[in-house]
Chains A and B, each alone.
Chain A
Amino acid sequence: MASVARSWTCMACQRKALNPSPLQSRTLRGLYSTKASRHDRPFRMAVVGSGPAGFYTAYRVMSRIQRAKVDMFEALPVPYGLVRFGVAPDHPEVKNCQDKFEEVARSPDFTFVGNVAVGNAGDHFGGCTVQLDALMRHYDAVVFAYGASKDKTLGVPGESQLRGIYSAREFVGWYNGLPEYAGLAPDLTQGDEAVIVGQGNVALDVARMLLENVDVLRKSDITEAAIETLSRSRVKRVHVVGRRGPMQAAYTIKEVRELMKLHDVGFHQVDMSLVPDEISKLPRAQKRLTEVIVKGSTANIDTASRTWSLDFCLSPVGFRGGPDGNVRSTILERTSLAAPFDPTSKVSGTGALVEIPSAVAFRSIGYKSVALPGFSEAGILFDDRSGIIQNDGLGRVYTNNAADEAAPRQHLGGVYCAGWVKRGPTGVIASTMQDAFTTGDAIVEDWASEAPFLHEEPSHGWEGLKQEVDDSKSQVITWEKWQKIDKAEKERGQLVGKEREKFTSTAEMLSVAA
C-alpha cells in the first residue's frame, strides 16, 4: 500500500514542479543558488546514532537541502535508540514518532548503516567498526547524535560490591531488550522493600515496573524474560528517594499521575512541611503537579497490595549488605533545603542518618555521554565534566583555534551534534526534536552560506567508506535487513499476544537478517 501511495502525484503538483511560483523561485535562489560549485552536487552527511536526535536532524536537513544524502550509523543492528530501548513498554503512544523515522528511512536519499560502530565497538557485540577519521574523510558533514551511553554513579560504599544494586540504565535496558543487559537477571525475590535513588522520570518508570500488575505489562513489548522476573517479584514497598523536595523534583506530572492511578497501588502521603500552604498560588505547572502529589493515590493505602512513596531530602551515603553479599539497606543522610519552596533551592547535609531496608536498590541519577575515540585527534572538544560535546548551542561543534590556543574556540567546519550529547541527558522526545531541528537549521544555514565544511571536493559517503570497513566478521545491516528483523519480532510477538517480542541478542538479530 505504501509503495502505491508513494508513487503518486497529482496534476497540481506536477504543474507546481514545472512552474514554481515567483515566491518559490526567489526562495530557491536565496537558499540554494549562491554558488554553483557547492549546490550542484549532493550534500553528504553522516549521522552517528539512530535515536530521535539523529532521525529528527536527518529529517530537517533532508527537508531543506534539496540534494542532501544522509547515511546513518548505528552500532546495534536495530534503529531508534532510546525510543526502542528507553521509552517504557507501557507507553507505546510515545513510540509513534517511529512512524516519522520510518518515513525518513524510506527516502532514496537515506541509508541506514546498522551494526557499524564509529570509533569503537567496545560496548557492543562484534559488529563492524569505522574509525572516526575515515568517516570524516568521506562526508561533507558529520552529526554526532549518539546520546548518553553511560550512567552516573553515586560513588558510595557498597554500591559496586553488593549484589542487588542496579543502575536504572541497565534495568531499563534489560526490560526493553537491550542486548548489552540481556543477561542482567535482576533479583527481585530477596524481600519486600525496594529503594530507587533519584526522582526523575526514569526513576518513576522503574517504580512503575515494580508496582504495576504484571498482566498489564504482559501486553506491551516488554521482554518475556522481564515478565518472568517481574511475575516472581516479592517487592511490595517502593521508596523513591531524592536529595531535594517536591518543589525541586525532576519528575513530570504524567508519570506521577500514572502511578497514582495504578490499580491496587497506594501512595504514602508526602511530608507536607515541604509543600507551601497555598498551592493555588503556585505557577500553573507546579501547582498542578503539587495537587496530584498531595491528593495521592486512588487506591487506599491501608488495603493496597503494593505501596510507594516519594521520600524527600535524603542523600545516599552507602549501602549495607548481609553475610550473603546481598544489599540489605540503604543508608541516607537527611538534607536540609535553604528555601523549601524555591525550585532552585540549595541543599545541604544535616549529618542525621536514616536507614531504609532495601532488598533491592536502583540508582537513577542520570546518564552521561562519553567522547568517541578519535575526538581529540580530530580537534573535537568534549566537556568531560558535563558530558557533552562543546558546541555553540545550535549544534556547531567547537575546536580550539589552531593558530592561537588562547583565542576563542571556533566551529570545526562540517562537524555538528544533536540531542543528549549536545545538551546533556534531559528532556522528552519533544525537546530532543526541537533541539535536533535547531542543529538541522544550523547545517542548512551553513551549507547555504558557503561556510566551510569537511571538504571542498565532492565526497562519496558510505559508497566510498564501505571499502574501508572490515565486514568479514559481521554483516552491515541495511534498512531492508532491519525490516526483516522487525517483521520477525512482530511475528514472535503475535504468538504471545503482544505487539512485538524483541530479540535480545545481536546474534539472533543478525541471523534473522542474514
Chain B
Amino acid sequence: MKRSEWIGEFWRYRELFLFLVWRELKVRYKQTALGASWALLQPLLTMAVFTVIFGRYAELPRDGLAYPLFFFSVLVPWTYFASALTNAGNSLVANIDLLTKVYFPRAALPASAVLAGLLDFAVAFLFLAGMLLYYAVPPSLEMLLWPLLLLLLVLLALGAGMLFAALNVNFRDVKYALPFVVQVWMFASPTMWTLNSVEEPRWRVLAALNPLGGVLQAFRDSINPNCPVDWLSLGISAAATLLLFLAGGAYFQKTERTFADLI
C-alpha cells in the first residue's frame, strides 16, 4: 500500500478509531476507583519525591524556579509521554482478538492509546496552571508555544508507540524491554536535571538529539521568567521527533501485514 492510500484508509475508518479512543477512556475511568485523580497523583507524587530528594538534600540546579514548579512543569508532559508510549506499545498485543478477527487499519490501535492519554494530560495540566497562579508566575509570550510542544509530544508518542507496538508483535522480549526503555529515557531527559546547566555546546546538541530533551526543557523554560526558550535545542528535538515519527510509521507499515499471523 502506498503511503497516501494508507492515510486514506485510516480516514475511512475514523469512526472506529474514535470508538477505540472512547473505549480506552471509558474502561480506564470505570476500572480505577480513583478515576481522574490517578492522572494527577502520579506526577504529583513523583514531584514530591524529587523535591525532597533532589531539592532538599542534593540541591540540584533549578534554573531559579521553585523546586515543585521546576519538576512538575516537566513531569506533566513526561508522564503523558511515558504512559502513552507504554499503552501504545502494548496496544496490539492487548487486542489479539481484534487483530485476528477483523480488518481495520492496524495503526488505529496505537494511535487511540496515544490520543486517549490526552485526557489525563489535560487534568494534570490544569493542576499545573493552578500552580502557576499560586507561585505568581507572570504570563509570557512563550506560553503560546504550548500547543506546538504538545503536538511534538503527540507525534513522538505516536512514532515511538508504533515502533514498539510492531516490535512487540515481532519479538517476544520487547514486552520486558519496554518498561526499561521508558525508565532510561526518563533519566536521559531533563526531568530531574536541566538542559540549561549543560554548558558545552556539543553536549547540549547531544542532549537535544533526544527528541524529549528540547521539548521538555521548552515546557519548563516557557514558564520560567529567568530562562528564555532555547530555540536551537528545540529545533534539533523537533527534527529528531519528526524523524522518529516517520521511522516508526514506516516500520509499522512494513510489518503490519503479518501481525495477525505472528501474534
Partners in one complex: no
What is B's interface to A at a CB cutoff of 8 Å? none
